[in-house]
Amino acid sequence: MKVLLIEDEQKIADFVCTGLTRRGFHVTHCANGHAGHALGLRADVDIIVLDVMLPGRDGLSVLQEWRAAGVTTPVILLTARNELGDRISGFDLGADDYLAKPFFVEELVARMQALLRRTGTRPETLAVGALKLDCISRQLSNHGRSCELTAREFSLLAYLMRSPGQLFTRGQILEHVWGYDFDPSTNVVDVCIRRIRNKMQDLADHDPNAGAAIEAVRGAGYRFRSQACA
């Protein structure tokens, strides 16, 4: 899922970006009300997480102008304010949900998932051929058999399955799934890929090549073969 985060407090932005990225979200971040307003008008995102108190212009006025301009993207407001009047003002201007600081990133994720399910903007399943990945339960299935992936396995496989045929370097995968840079010599990507392949193989024991759906390109990285599971 693609998320636009508009938050000027760097510590909060860092932990939200890291937490969401590790759970398979693609996050675009900006820290200014004017820049956030412009991004919200043109960005192709599934959900917006918007702080109320921003430099340049406040989040409520940004939200008001988005809705006046016809922007229907779901918006969750973040704020240190927790008074009833502030919450009502946010909802009156078109907010879809409201989360008071401080908060746990797990609660933000849960609210995002619930909101996206209600609005119908979150694709609940990724499918390539017979292989299906449930984006809510993290269940991987093939020909009626299923297993659950870990959070890292899910994030990595979803990243590849969203762009079948596209080659991703280990550095790109590290940044997306783990959220920070590792030693270039680390093998964490290869280990995670191997675990996913083993699970894919277990789901399709009639097909000795099921694990090859994730293709390693020597010296380059990995890609999900678009016709691997047809």
CATH number at residue 201: 1.10.10.10
Q: Report whether pLDDT(123) > 70.
A: no
Q: Which of 119, 143, 164 is the last residue of a domain?
A: 119
Instruction: Tell me, yes or no, whether 53 lies in a domain.
Output: yes
Query: How far is it, in rounded angstroms, from Cα 195 to Cα 206?
Result: 19
Q: What percent of the chain has pLDDT over 70?
A: 87
Print the domain residue range for 42.
2-119
- At 111, list the tokens: 């609210």
Predicted confidence band of residue 164 (pLDDT cuts 50, 70, 90): confident
CATH code of residue 62: 3.40.50.2300
pLDDT in tens, 187-222: 889 999 999 998 988 887 666 566 678 999 988 899
Percent of the chain with pLDDT over 90: 30
Question: What is the DSSP pairing of strand 47-51 with strand 75-79?
Answer: parallel
Q: Identify whether residues 51 and 93 lie together within a single domain.
A: yes
Once rounded to an integer, what is the mean pLDDT over residues 56-85?
87
Same domain, 192 and 133: yes
pLDDT in tens, 17-48: 988 887 778 899 999 999 999 999 987 788 99
Of 111, 102, 101, residue with least CA distance to 48? 111
Of residues 58 and 163, the one with the higher pLDDT is: 58
47 shares a domain with 32: yes
CB 12 within 8 A of CB 39: no
Verify that 38 and 73 share a domain, yes or no: yes
Do 64 and 144 reside in the same domain of the chain?
Answer: no
Q: Which residues contact 70 (CB under 8 A, 6 or more apart)?
A: none
Task: Tell which of 62, 93, 119 closes a domain.
Answer: 119
Provide the pLDDT confidence category of residue 117 given band limits of 50, 70 and 90.
confident
Residue at which a domain ends, from 67, 101, 119: 119
230 in a domain, yes or no?
no
Looking at the structure, tell me whether residues 143 and 114 fall in a common domain: no
The pLDDT of residue 210 is: 61
pLDDT of residue 10: 93
pLDDT score recorded for residue 47: 92
If asked whether residues 42 and 91 sit together in one domain, one would say yes
Is 147 found in the same domain as 55?
no
Tell me the CA distances in angstroms from 210 to 178, 180, 197, 206, one per residue in order: 25, 30, 8, 9
